[in-house]
Structure 1
């Protein structure tokens, strides 16, 4: 049964050339559909980017507002601290009326909503005066802010890392100033505390959506507050978070789409560093919420587009179908002609190539030998030939069987073909287990190098051969080079005879080796060479050993 070739690309191209109307309709339809899809896609993408850009502007403005609010909170507390420092340093720690000072601290805490507590510590860290109703005795010299002021003479406000209050047990943000003695030595610390959950009263006023968030962190990489508030997250290390990494690259402000490492939600974040304080605030809206309305409108638009495309394709298909029915006979004729041409190509391939190995056959080799001999005569360049024979191939067949022998020949042929470096070189099966390698424009040394390369390539193929001393399949090769003059009527088969004779010598000298004209001993007589040629005639033992 003849194979079905209706899907042959050559047939399809011929058929398409006979159906310009079909191709025109399809081209117009495809172009229009692609244009429509491209426009809708571009519009949807532009709307999406605009939506994200607008939200980025909103979150950036919100981050600015939150930073301004936070800065104001810190400055209010700092103003109270500055007043207490001035009062103590003016009156001195010894001369200060501690009861009056305690009442003053209590009044400040009750009138300033940002304050959770006010504390004065001595140089040794002991509690001197506090705003508490019932002061407790203790020592805060181990706190970060106390250690900072003890070694730094900086008189500006210091915002420390969040700590859990020893007096109330809640998380607080410490804001402190240094106290100095008249001689400038360290006299202690004035501390104002802000409850971490105080920021909830500020941040809950901002609408960040159901999955949005607001984050306040210290620029030393510690989390202070995250909305919605979770006490377990306070003082967590955020140095490995994406927001902190962005801050390190752009210390003032920035915006980016980030997936949270806390809850895995992808959000559009905008952050801003406080002006004059070591704090960073970031606000974010969930990407899904930002694009929810966009997805809704885009889905409606995509559905409408699909309906339009379906109607267009349906109408176009009806038109194309009518054209295809009209052209059916012509297509069948074109297909039949294409099948015939394909058959001719296959026959030509079979005529020029060996069925078993897939390389050139003897017919093609002898034709190209004549062609290359004429070309060598015109150019004056040498023409070389390598005759190759598989060693102990009869023993191989006797050991492994003829099916394995055929596979062996295929592998040897593949090794020879793949080892040739130029497109002008030709590997052909000459007969049985003998191969011919035609090498145009190749001198004796180059031809011998090629032959050695072929011999090594076959050995590296590692085809098992127990009856061969190396244990694998090997080849022997004879290499001959000739030059021809213009109009030279020398029979090119002489090149085959000489190469075959050298192949016979290679087998006589031990197999698995190359023998060339250059290897011939200078003492060899012409009679010896004639004897070699006679022994190497087609059908000689050299091809079957």
Structure 2
């Protein structure tokens, strides 16, 4: 009894510990899922933000000839660039530069005649890359306002495809600062936008001094993004050394990544606070159960042992029955369904077709010149040939309701519930093509390719058909295919009658 009580005490500790560990794991999983969902939501917001700017830039590109001819129309807040800029709150400004980097037009209030941006990264990139896609650069400071901005640009080409200039839209970093500020989060939780090359664009709540720092040493850029564009994980932030639960999402159309990080220590403190009463209740409940368990354990032990023996016997009997059933319905040579499985399933499908009116098709296939193959290579090689043909049919893509069986000898059959005759012909074509692709040698074949080929006959059930009629129609079509030269398909509907099977090799 002392040993038993010790076991119960250990079990109580284990169950409570396991329960709390599972609860903590679920909390971590739910938190990671929440972070992933939030990162996906923020990525879509960022996607829309940059897409709006891209659409505006593409519209400016379409009017670039007019801008070069009449730049005055596009200058200033009242110009066409200024009007377009006023429609998008995220925009800091819109600019057009010529091939030398000189300003042609701007949405700003002031034009700088001697201003030149040929030294900017985005300008150099477009000048050296004949790429029509939008380019998102790293965060820079505006030379006109000193604001932190994200450059989004497109290349301008002349009629010959030569570099003509750059169209630039700048997005305010403060736009993301303001938007991310709407979310209620713990003091050490973070929301971040980074470039795909691991460069920081903006991270709340950190100061701007971390902008343009590299996060390449984090698991996010070492492995996670390489495995999936969306996901989550837990790692220590290189910015402040705090362990956080992260969710991330890469933008579909732009080289940007949104990450959401939740402080793990804060989460654990909150979890312990919320579960303190539950821990005490679980301990009390488990102790009570253990007390009553000692009284009835002796009686239950015998009952459980008897039931376990009975269940084991039942499981063994079920396993043996299933094994016998499988053996009774599977062809031992090819591993396909045997003739018995074929007959049972065909009868079931035909009965269902008669009730529902859904079409039922049957394909009968026969290996061409198989008698010559056996006479030339022997029956052992013939069996191997049957197995290899069966493997091709077994792994042929098909629906779960379609059944392939060995009908007998070198003849195979495929039952296609819910398949009309014209679709069955397509399936038969795929079968013959798959056998051709397998290129199994048959030097005794009378066909020029000297490989194993199949002839196929197709029949489709019509009102009043029984199993025998359907099989005879497919057999008649198969032998018609044999007479037509083999390695071909004949549909019974083209024969004009239901022919009885004839003898062949």
TM-score between the two structures when normalised by the length of structure 2: 0.54
Contact residue 47 and residue 294 of structure 1 kept, 8 A = no
- Cross-structure match for 1:121: 97
Structure 1 164/247 Cα, relative in aligned 2: closer, same or farther at 3 Å? farther
Q: Tell me, yes or no, if structure 1 residue 254 matches structure 2 residue 231.
A: yes
Moved more, 99-108 or 215-224: 99-108
Q: Structure 1 runs of 4+ off > 4 angstroms?
A: 301-313
Instruction: Give me the whole-angstrom Cα distance separating, in 1, the residues matched to 2:278 and 2:67.
Output: 76
**Is 2:117 aligned against 1:140?**
yes
Alignment partner, residue 176 of structure 1: 153
In 1, the alpha carbon distance for the partners of 2:124 and 2:182 equals 36
Does structure 2 conserve the Cα–Cα contact (< 8 Å) formed by 1:88 and 1:96? no
C-alpha distance in structure 2 between counterparts of 1:33 and 1:141, whole Å: 77
Seen in structure 2, the aligned counterparts of structure 1 residues 100 and 308 have a Cα distance that, compared at 3 Å, is closer
Offset at residue 229 of structure 1 (A): 4.5
Task: Give the match for residue 26 of structure 2.
Answer: 50
Alignment check: 8 A CA contact 2:74 2:82 kept: no
Q: Distance in 2 between matches of 1:249 and 1:277?
A: 16
Task: Write the mapping of 1:319-468 to structure 2, written as runs, cut at 5 A.
Answer: none
In the TM superposition, 1:518-537 aligns within 5 A as: none
1:274 to 226, 251, 258: 251
Secondary structure in 1 aligned to 2:203?
strand
| Counterpart position of 1:215 | 192
Match of 1:98 in 2: 72
**Against the structure 1 CA distance between its residues 98 and 216, is the aligned structure 2 distance closer, same or farther, given a 3 Å change threshold?**
same
- 1:236-259 CA distance string (max 9 Å, x none): 122123332244432512211111
Match runs of 1:182-331 below 5 Å: 182-303=159-280
1:81 to 43, 57, 80: 57
3-state SS in 2 of match to 1:193: strand
Structure 2, unmatched stretches of 5+, are 291-505
Report the CA distance between 1:184 and its aligned residue. 1.3
**Is 2:143 the counterpart of 1:166?**
yes
Q: Structure 2 CA distance, aligned partners of 1:66 and 1:107?
A: 27
Q: CA deviation at 1:308?
A: 8.5
How many Å apart are 1:235 and its aligned residue?
A: 0.8
**Root-mean-square deviation over aligned CA pairs:** 2.4
Deviations 1:306-342 (A, max 9, x none): 77999999xxxxxxxxxxxxxxxxxxxxxxxxxxxxx
Match of 1:462 in 2: none
Determine if contact 1:175/1:191 at 8 Å carries over to the other structure: yes
Contact 1:179 1:187 in 2 (8 A): yes
**Mapped contact 2:200–2:210 kept (Cα < 8 A):** yes
Separation (CA, whole Å) in 1 of partners of 2:223 and 2:181: 25
SS of the aligned residue for 2:63 comes to: helix
Q: 2:6 aligns with which of 30, 42, 45?
A: 30
Output the CA distance in 2 between the equivalents of 1:206 and 1:305.
36
Q: Distance in 2 between matches of 1:308 and 1:177?
A: 68
Would you say the 8 A contact 2:133–2:154 is kept in 1? yes
Secondary structure in 1 matching 2:232: strand
**Helix, strand or coil at the partner of 1:291:** helix
Aligned equivalents of 1:124, 1:135: Cα separation in 2: 17
Larger radius of gyration: 1
Contact 1:126 1:141 in 2 (8 A): yes
Say which SS state the counterpart of residue 215 (structure 2) adopts. coil
Determine the C-alpha separation between the residues in 1 that align with 2:37 and 2:56: 29
Determine if contact 2:191/2:204 at 8 Å carries over to the other structure.
Answer: yes
Which 5+ residue runs of structure 1 have no aligned equivalent?
1-23, 314-545
Distance 1:207 1:243, change over 3 A: farther
C-alpha displacement of 1:195 = 1.1
- What is the count of residue pairs matched by the alignment? 288
Conserved? CA contact 1:259–1:265, under 8 Å: yes
In the alignment, the residues of structure 2 paired with residue 251 and residue 285 of structure 1 have an alpha-carbon distance, to the nearest angstrom, of 20
- d(CA) in 1 for partners of 2:91, 2:40: 23
Match of 1:65 in 2: 41
